[in-house]
Structure 1
């Protein structure tokens, strides 16, 4: 069974900045690049039931026709084995057919199955679709729709837009208003005079900071790893969630900035550097014309924090403007950044790259100063730590991901154990929780205003 679509146009353009950034990362991670696949499960809304397989396929066709990124692939011959100097293009197709997997099993298991292999970036559509039905009969009703995205087609926020539109199509049969500009349109704007001006301003930030940061944050080999060198540890902590909310409310900042500052403090403690350079993943949806586009806009910004400012309250104060500078720098042309890396690495006689990433993947922001110390400290007894992943390749040495979990705030640390042992990874996550719980009730915290 296939989703057949017939869009209004086709075309070819260079990759957008966001596409180029994730493509460079995918190539450096291959053959483990399935790491970047991600998906969503949509339970069919009650008012859209019963939903037949045929109707679900029809609605999904409308979704793909509306969002051009879902029918855009790389130019032929540019898979992950392409020559390093090969210049990729994005190719939008007007018509085609996307295969559908139908299952009567668990939706989350189907998502895992669809996401477990890397995409064929030139030969495969950048969307995998599964339908979960209530039985094995021909007329079985669809209960869940599973979408797995190639990261070249969407980031987390882009996927949420696609899911919202899919829900509207199921409930109303249409999405109001015209679609947002497509990746094709965005690529052309980025090469216009206004786009080049934005890129130039971002490049100035990268250049200035590259001259003063440590060449890399994790520069000391730790040990010979046993088994795959890349491991992920995940801490889920309600205490951490409550503590971060309190600190953010008291200081009049976001919980993401609190976590970014604390993460940097501990990176400094682990590495011995008194300046931390971290690469936060930024959504880049501040432009009105791109706010609702299904594509990959997220890119790394450059966050630089001097850790010699005293206690955590002082460091957090410095982190606020540093975070804003980092967010602005994230909307940049990766080609500019590559040139700067080469030039300044040559000037400094060593390779410049932080290899230290931060990705806050939460969609809900909540600051609340009312959480009391006893409740927060008791919640530490509920904290869990697991090891959900190991693999051979990753393009980084230290990656933090923040997620909202049923049991509290999820903090995943994926690291190269040649530079940070598994024991040190666990200690880092435990120390992050302890640092922020202590900071939430330290006497230096005074309400703003």
Structure 2
């Protein structure tokens, strides 16, 4: 029988201090404060193997070193009377760590055990003023550490930061096995230092410049750009997901054909499909920015991601022209990505343009992405047989009408479309993702007329219109 107990990890040698929230932390704080479902949503999970020959003591010492290096992991978030919060960085303290031990005679598979550990860690939101923002589980076989999993609050880490933690832990554990000193910590700003910079005049100037840009975008937007098109389902918001090796193989060569970036190519495919959904010549889209363009932020463990409102013009006559426009939109978003979001939110509320679409491309920034597709379109199209579609989520309420996410591993893209079924019925969501894959795959070898994208989408809509999506 699997046994579960806890032990405490002590950390020392840190620098205690208090600071305001960073702009990125403020985004998540407001989300958690104002949206009941966000407590469990705003948690990121990861797992990694533990090299053999390490003891539980070795693993816990590596966890302690990780806490010492990254102030975001030893931070309490204290609410204020105004509804804001401050971050209090602890110099020393303890963190409870779950120890999950499977005896040899238990046949429970490791995937089930890891999943159970991550669900336990993530399903209950963090009490940020009472506990540290990360939960670890060490998974063992008869006392021998095998796997390490963790759940971290989105207040302390975005998706890139969570992957940085995995990389740090892997390096620390490997050094232990090899008998080498721990590798040096990355040179990076800590969240409290970043908050201080954001509150200086040069930081405030970023918000002023972003506000000017956003006003121009909001002046081009209006409430009817994403209209209701169908009777909504129950629950109202569906998330479809297509996992595709073929898209992972197609994106880089397709982007090269258009002398553009993978992210611009992905936004262009999204926009080509939005031409089939929007009645007008443009659509409003909030573009998520990782905000790690500065060297001192590349290795920062914090939540830096912020979205910025833009408007994509849909009047391009060719896919090449649409890709060029999307590259320009992304460049503008990137230059204004860091700002105080409350100022931006107030501008959007004042404009009254309603909910926009949302585009979040994490996959393009992963290392090790494939760069060469098979020799022919027919060979790559055959790889779509390995694609898998699912409905991971259905909810009654969402803060965006349409959310396009591109995630996954370097070799397998996870295309995700979360949509209001009054805008896109379930069959249309499935058709959108299938047409996205078909378009991206074809673009790796040849141009695709925008009218062809619309024809493929109409064909897929017909195919899935009467399918049971329950």
Q: TM-score, normalised by structure 1?
A: 0.87
> Paired residue for 1:435?
439
Match of 1:212 among 220, 234, 237: 220
For the pair 1:88 / 2:85, whether they are aligned, the reply is yes
For the pair 1:273 / 2:270, whether they are aligned, the reply is no
Aligned partners of 2:149, 2:98: CA distance in 1, in Å?
9
For the pair 1:223 / 2:231, whether they are aligned, the reply is yes
Would you say how many aligned residue pairs link Structure 1 and Structure 2?
Answer: 426
Shift in Å at residue 411 of structure 1? 0.3
Aligned partners of 1:38, 1:418: CA distance in 2, in Å?
29
Q: 1:249 touches 1:367 (CA, 8 Å); kept in 2?
A: no
Shift in Å at residue 385 of structure 1? 0.9
For the pair 1:408 / 2:428, whether they are aligned, the reply is no
Aligned partners of 1:96, 1:216: CA distance in 2, in Å?
53
Shift in Å at residue 443 of structure 1? 4.7
Residues 147-200 of structure 1, C-alpha deviations (whole Å, 9 max, x = no match): 111000001111222222222322144231565221111000001122122222
Aligned partners of 1:273, 1:360: CA distance in 2, in Å?
28
What CA RMSD, in Å, does the superposition of the two structures yield over aligned residues? 2.4
> Per the alignment, in what secondary structure is the counterpart of residue 222 of structure 1?
coil
> Paired residue for 2:333?
326
> Paired residue for 1:60?
63
Runs of 4+ in 1 over 4 A off after TM superposition: none
Sort the Cα spacing of 1:407 and 1:440 in 2 relative to 1 into closer, same or farther, 3 A: closer
Shift in Å at residue 114 of structure 1? 1.5
Sort the Cα spacing of 1:366 and 1:215 in 2 relative to 1 into closer, same or farther, 3 A: farther
> Paired residue for 2:312?
305
Q: 2:439 touches 2:448 (CA, 8 Å); kept in 1?
A: no
For the pair 1:197 / 2:199, whether they are aligned, the reply is no
For the pair 1:134 / 2:141, whether they are aligned, the reply is yes
For structure 2, the 5+ residue unaligned runs are: 1-6, 103-109, 450-470
Aligned partners of 2:225, 2:93: CA distance in 1, in Å?
46
Q: 2:363 touches 2:410 (CA, 8 Å); kept in 1?
A: no
Shift in Å at residue 32 of structure 1? 4.6
Residues 408-432 of structure 1, C-alpha deviations (whole Å, 9 max, x = no match): 3220112233433212211111121
> Paired residue for 2:97?
100
For the pair 1:417 / 2:431, whether they are aligned, the reply is no
> Per the alignment, in what secondary structure is the counterpart of residue 356 of structure 1?
strand
Shift in Å at residue 306 of structure 1? 0.9
Match of 1:359 among 331, 355, 361: 361
> Per the alignment, in what secondary structure is the counterpart of residue 246 of structure 1?
helix
> Per the alignment, in what secondary structure is the counterpart of residue 275 of structure 2?
helix
Q: 1:214 touches 1:273 (CA, 8 Å); kept in 2?
A: no
Aligned partners of 1:243, 1:177: CA distance in 2, in Å?
36
Aligned partners of 2:118, 2:181: CA distance in 1, in Å?
25
Q: 1:115 touches 1:148 (CA, 8 Å); kept in 2?
A: yes
Shift in Å at residue 19 of structure 1? 0.6
Residues 249-296 of structure 1, C-alpha deviations (whole Å, 9 max, x = no match): 212222221111111221232132321222222111111222211111
Aligned partners of 2:83, 2:372: CA distance in 1, in Å?
50
> Per the alignment, in what secondary structure is the counterpart of residue 34 of structure 1?
helix
Shift in Å at residue 339 of structure 1? 3.0
> Paired residue for 1:397?
401
> Paired residue for 2:150?
147
Aligned partners of 1:158, 1:193: CA distance in 2, in Å?
27
Q: 2:158 touches 2:304 (CA, 8 Å); kept in 1?
A: yes
Q: 1:281 touches 1:301 (CA, 8 Å); kept in 2?
A: yes
Shift in Å at residue 382 of structure 1? 2.9
Aligned partners of 2:239, 2:192: CA distance in 1, in Å?
35
Shift in Å at residue 63 of structure 1? 0.9
> Per the alignment, in what secondary structure is the counterpart of residue 89 of structure 1?
strand
> Per the alignment, in what secondary structure is the counterpart of residue 147 of structure 2?
strand
Q: 1:9 touches 1:94 (CA, 8 Å); kept in 2?
A: yes
Residues 329-378 of structure 1, C-alpha deviations (whole Å, 9 max, x = no match): 211111221232234x1xxxx34441433332451344447642111222
For structure 1, the 5+ residue unaligned runs are: 79-84
Aligned partners of 1:439, 1:57: CA distance in 2, in Å?
48
Match of 1:5 among 5, 11, 25: 11
